[in-house]
Amino acid sequence: MTTETSATSSSKPLDGRVAVITGASSGIGEASAEHLASLGAKVAVLARRADRLDELVARIGKNGGAAVAIAVDVTDAAAVQAAADRVEAELGAADLILNNAGVMLPAPVEELRADQWQRQIDLNISGLMHVIGAFTPQLVRAAGERGVADLINTSSSAAQNLYPTFAVYAGTKAFVSHLSKHLRAELGPKNVRVSAIEPGIVGTELQDHVTDAGASAWLEGSKESVDWLRSDDIAEIVGFIASRPLRVNLPQVFIMPTAQAS
């Protein structure tokens, strides 16, 4: 059935939608899962930490929402495909993907932290692609049946701005942003809206994984002059993107803390 917008026929704007959120055990993904569920979507929450996902599912259920937890490492293509099959069997074809799992490991390039380069590439690029590969057939099918589907990829302001020592992370996010533009050109005609969200600094666990002292000091120091974004700020934007009328696509959403200059 094709409708102008689900908001016209139900009390919640995402009623009837099936959302999949990767990186849902903390930060932006966790907040987005709760928010999308509050807007009426059934949500599948994916990440590696099963205990955190179970707590999230219980919280969503307590607030009247519907959620399933799927513990999965998105760098494992076969495991992501199995998760996609499970989503379709339990909830129906996914029509909203927040492709969000990521890691940020800045370090001066001369330190040759090839292990950290690889971790970022494996998760931020290959993991993101595994999710796209496993779920695109469902998105296209759902868009054909329901009139619309959303693929929202989490990029970063680092895809646009220059941050010394963040080169590899920024490179992975530039991949995400450019890929999203191309996928939009390909999938838009099939009623799949593709968006890249590009936040500046958001206070999450992302910063806790940083091992480079210089980058940690820069991040910590920025707190003195910048009121960092919060995960809920991004979650609300994700909900906004997905609840627009079907003719409206926001391909690229750049979101900065007001006082973060670049």
What is the enclosing helix (H) or strand (E) of 154? strand 149-154
Among residues 102, 106, 239, 257, which is the contact residue for ligand NDP, using CB under 6 A?
A: 102
Percentages (nearest 5) of helix, strand, coil residues in the chain: 50, 15, 35
Question: Do residues 37 and 22 make contact, with C-beta atoms less than 8 angstroms apart?
Answer: no
Max CA pair span of the chain: 57
Question: Annotated catalytic, 169?
Answer: yes
Choose one: 8-16, 144-152, 183-191, 196-204; the region binding ligand NDP (CB under 6 A): 196-204
Question: Do residues 228 and 202 make contact, with C-beta atoms less than 8 angstroms apart?
Answer: yes
Q: Which is nearer to ligand NDP, 29 or 40 (CB)?
A: 29
Contact flag: residue 104 with ligand NDP (CB under 6 A) = yes
**Count, residues near ligand NDP per rule CB under 6 A:** 30
Closest approach of ligand NDP to the CB of residue 142, in Å: 23
SS3 4: coil
Closest CA to 209 of 147, 94, 120, 127: 120
> DSSP label at 13?
T
Sites for ligand NDP among residues 16-75 (CB under 6 A): 22-29, 47-49, 52, 73-75
Sites for ligand NDP among residues 203-222 (CB under 6 A): 204-206
Q: Which is nearer to ligand NDP, 28 or 148 (CB)?
A: 28
Which residue among 117, 135, 166, 169 is the active-site one?
169
Sites for ligand NDP among residues 222-261 (CB under 6 A): none
Among residues 13, 65, 199, 257, which is the contact residue for ligand NDP, using CB under 6 A?
A: 199
Which tokens in the block code for residue 201? Answer: 């600094």
Closest approach of ligand NDP to the CB of residue 45, in Å: 9
Question: Do residues 251 and 10 make contact, with C-beta atoms less than 8 angstroms apart?
Answer: no
CA-to-CA distance for 215 and 213, rounded, in angstroms? 6
Question: Do residues 256 and 198 make contact, with C-beta atoms less than 8 angstroms apart?
Answer: no
Closest approach of ligand NDP to the CB of residue 183, in Å: 17
SS3 43: strand
Q: Which is nearer to ligand NDP, 148 or 176 (CB)?
A: 176
Instruction: Give the catalytic positions in this structure.
Output: 169
Residue ranges binding ligand NDP (CB under 6 A): 22-29, 47-49, 52, 73-75, 100-104, 123, 127, 154, 156, 199, 201-202, 204-206
